[in-house]
Chains A and B, each alone.
Chain A
């Protein structure tokens, strides 16, 4: 049947029933429910004798009873420097276990060694998101089951609600103590918060922490507490590569196009009355987003305005704003650079939060709902403002969702900002290849060639009345790009559905088909 944004969604795919998207806030659970979680218990003498600490991940996997068909979860706080997921599957493959589901907050290009395991059906389903080569392999039909793509908030919701049941959470920890208190801001592999793993730690049947640095008790400050951790694996096998975990200080782009777009973003925010005392906003580490943060900082200083809080993925730019007193607090679910990690460790006003608190739609409150604004990117946006972040213009799955759906849905003013032409194709199209964020969540599209405002945005009049902005319709932006790029070659797909795009509430926005070419 067709969902609320006119996408054809099958009732069932590969044995899984799909609930079509019904609009933002169109679906709420009927009542409170209490998902089953397993009690954890070790005897006091067992823990005192440090028997919770094991020397190999294999030993832990045997102890928790890894078997065919289970779901294993991982976080992506080590980003491009993650060695743990590859190490875990080297062991699992040798154990002869098959038909596993990987529930990861993100599968990254560094996890390409998992591709042969998809082909040999060791891994048959992936939940979360898939970037780079693993995503492309799924587009080419190498995963037997399905890729379920979820936003960060959607993943937290799915885990918290029991929609996604985790048998074993494998949590990489830069430091851990023998009781199982985990911390992300200290040690060689410091990555900042461990917030994406908080739902996993709370809800998984079994929690295995893996660390290279066992520190004395208590491992303070505690990110994930010992009460949730069943086993601590202290291994010499490096769980990460510091170079890939955090970058040096992220620097503002020098690309004049991106700077121009970022500068226009500030003009849009100003028009909409967003730059005001008590402002709250979130910024990412992408070129335009980061430049927007810097320009916002300049504008706030100029206007002598102080915000109340900002939210990460944190960067040196956000930390700078916090340190200058432009915000009282920085809420943080992940850190992108060394400055941000150091700030989280040292500044009590830099606060670690978990993925549910950050963005899950089905709890008593989440932070994204209080955002005044968010600046996001997209691989494609269509005339109805529907955005794609997952598939590229050639149909390949190359990215995840991140917090795109969550922040755009929650923020007062959601902005998509991007160069109109990307890799010689127009970003604005008639229909996006894959709907990832529904157009109703997006207020404004900012490009170097003009600004389009969603007619359904409550800020439409304020923004379109600003004569300094080059206001255009999406149709005009599309035509302008087409004049330069010419029409795009249509993408050919097979009938096999390889992926499902869930809205943050668990309903289905779109499905992804296997590529024919």
Chain B
């Protein structure tokens, strides 16, 4: 789960039957059936039931299916967990997480529901979204919290909390992104970038994705299926990098077979982290349709 490919994570409003039914067809690596911001208060109940039934009866194929529940300050979280956890999503996305304490409390609630439903304890993973300055300050402990496999910044709420304007270039979030990338790496979990809100600006989306990749993000959230393909293309390594990664992995496999210790490729010593990075790069290339 932790290491799976999550180049794209598509938000789908949980109150729209057609969109929920077709959520997995657009090729996103992961989908978020949303019960939070995209659902008006008057439709929270209906969305919760629709998402529960979708989880129980629809085949989402190999797509990772997650549900964004409402945050702990609302009266909806308890009902969300009670309905959604037994329907076994791969993970729940928890908005506005600010502390480890919050996650621990949630872990207890989810554990109780898992036990009541004869589920494996810990099977439902947590994917917190950091949307406040306090959350950023506490990011290291949140990243190493129970069940946490992925963390993400929430761009809109973060800039609002900081009292600054969000721009297309996103320079205002650079410090937060960098800090979160380090926290995720330290906790050995993945980090997925916030959404790019202008669905008509595909060039801007590609730039934003390339920046996220260079910073160390594993994926990018999307608000419209049209954003998936450009993000996947941005994640596609160059033919030169693919060729180099192939050489490294093949050399490593040969060395393993031959029982040789040190590996060199093109005269350079290769250590295990480089091999792992190359394997991941090839996985991204394969997911992008490259025959490697």
* Residues of A near any B CB (own CB < 8 A): 256-257, 259-260, 263, 448-449, 466-468, 480, 483-484
Contacts and interface: CB of A to CB of B under 8 A. Distances in A.
9 contacts: A259-B225, A259-B226, A260-B25, A260-B27, A263-B229, A448-B22, A448-B26, A467-B289, A484-B58
Nearest to A264: B27
A260 B59 contact: no
A468 B225 contact: no
A260 B58 contact: no
A256 B226 contact: yes
A260 B21 contact: no
Contact of A483 (B25, B59, B224): B59
B291 interface: yes
Contacts of B25: 257, 260, 448-449
A497 to B, nearest CB: 37
B289 A468 contact: yes
Contact of B22 (A257, A263, A466): A257
A132 to B, nearest CB: 25
Which 9 pairs between the two chains have the least Cβ-Cβ distance? A468-B289, A256-B225, A448-B25, A449-B25, A260-B26, A467-B289, A256-B226, A257-B22, A259-B226
Interface of B: 21-22, 25-27, 58-59, 224-226, 229, 288-289, 291
A481 B287 CA distance: 25
Nearest to B288: A468
Contacts of A468: 288-289
A256 B224 contact: yes
A484 B22 CA distance: 10
Contacts of B58: 484
A512 B22 CA distance: 34
Nearest to B21: A484
Contacts of B224: 256
Contacts of B225: 256-257, 259-260
B8 to A, nearest CB: 13
Contacts of B59: 480, 483
B288 to A, nearest CB: 8
A257 B27 CA distance: 11
Contacts of A484: 21, 58
Pick the most buried of B21, B25, B224: most chain A CB atoms within 10 A of its CB. B25
Contacts of A483: 59
Contact of A256 (B21, B26, B288, B291): B26
Nearest to B225: A256
Contacts of B226: 256, 259
B22 to A, nearest CB: 6
A302 B59 CA distance: 36
A256 B59 CA distance: 20
Contacts of B291: 467
Contacts of A257: 22, 25, 225
A467 B27 CA distance: 14
Nearest to A448: B25
Nearest to A259: B226
A207 to B, nearest CB: 49
A404 B280 CA distance: 46
Contacts of B288: 468
B38 to A, nearest CB: 15
A260 B22 CA distance: 11
Contacts of B22: 257, 448
Contacts of A259: 225-226
Contacts of B229: 263
A484 B58 CA distance: 7
Nearest to A447: B25
Q: Which of A256, A257, A466, A468 has the most CB of B within 10 A?
A: A256
Given A259-B225, A466-B289, A483-B59, 9 more contacts: A256-B26, A256-B224, A260-B25, A260-B26, A448-B25, A448-B26, A468-B288, A468-B289, A484-B21
A484 B291 CA distance: 33
Nearest to B58: A484
A471 to B, nearest CB: 12
Contacts of A263: 229
Nearest to B10: A256
Nearest to A480: B59
A155 to B, nearest CB: 37
A480 B25 CA distance: 12
Contacts of A448: 22, 25-26
A483 B21 CA distance: 11
Nearest to A255: B225
A448 B25 CA distance: 6
A484 B225 CA distance: 21
Contacts of A256: 26, 224-226
